[in-house]
Structure 1
Amino acid sequence: EKDSPFRAGASRLAAARARELLSDMGWDEESIASVAHAVEAHSFSAAITPLTLEAKILQDADRLDSLGMIGVARTFYVSGRMGKYLYEPNDPHASQRPYDDKRFAVDHFHTKLLHLAEGFQTRTGAQMAKVRHDRLKRFLDELMEEIGASQP
């Protein structure tokens, strides 16, 4: 869950578990280390630079999952599960307040999602991210227009 106290270390825990499983399966240490690095580095919150092609691809795939229409759907699904409001009706653009994605789903677009396209590791990932980023922006622009909060 997004609000789990273990969230910050989730990729490290997953990498440790992958090490155990692969070791039990008889994998060599170099291959295990490569997989563990990819798993650990994929997470946005871990802030680990991916060093191998596999780690770069996995990180790009994880971030692509947060962009575009899947990202929109997931943001609203998770926000609803966590009891967040859709947006702040008196200031949906946060022009008179700081963004607060702990309270408002739309603020998450500004605190994280709209920044993801900047950090892709592969050329293909970056190209795909641009398309999805543009969709994300169009959705947000149309939502703001629909609620009467278009940017001046």
Structure 2
Amino acid sequence: MIKFSKRVFYSTKEKTEVTNVDASDVLKSISSNISSASAYIEEQIQRLERAENKIEHEQNAGLGEIKKIKQPDLGKLWTGSRANYFQQDREAAYNTMSSILNNDYDGYKASIGNKIALLKMEKASADFAAQAASKISGIAAMGEHLADDIGNELNALKKRWL
């Protein structure tokens, strides 16, 4: 078992001294934290991607439905002030819906896309940290074996010469 050499850590609450912290326990804790963070980030990415797909679906459905606002064509049979008011209200409804479906929805999708990109960068950082922790763990394991071998050789020397 590898231990940090006489490092002293103090708890902020109790001011108790902790020495000889086991390196493998620290690595396990770090790896566990990285794994949890990575899983949480992946879950958030998937949730945002589902939301982005739902918005895309709603936008496409809305763009199909918006065309119905301008139907039927009023033609020459509809004349007068009521026809003009109706046509103006129809145009206002179409313009409002068009703005929402084309501008607002695109803004929502862009915002979600930016958040996904940010989370993917965080995930890449967590993946890199996991690889680093794995490498350190491997090095520590090699060090344990080396320390055991040195200890055995020293014990053999002590038996023979002391």
Q: Same fold (TM over 0.5)?
A: no
Q: So what's the TM-score if we normalise by structure 1?
A: 0.29
**Structure-2-length-normalised TM-score:** 0.28
Higher helix residue share = 2
Larger Rg: 2
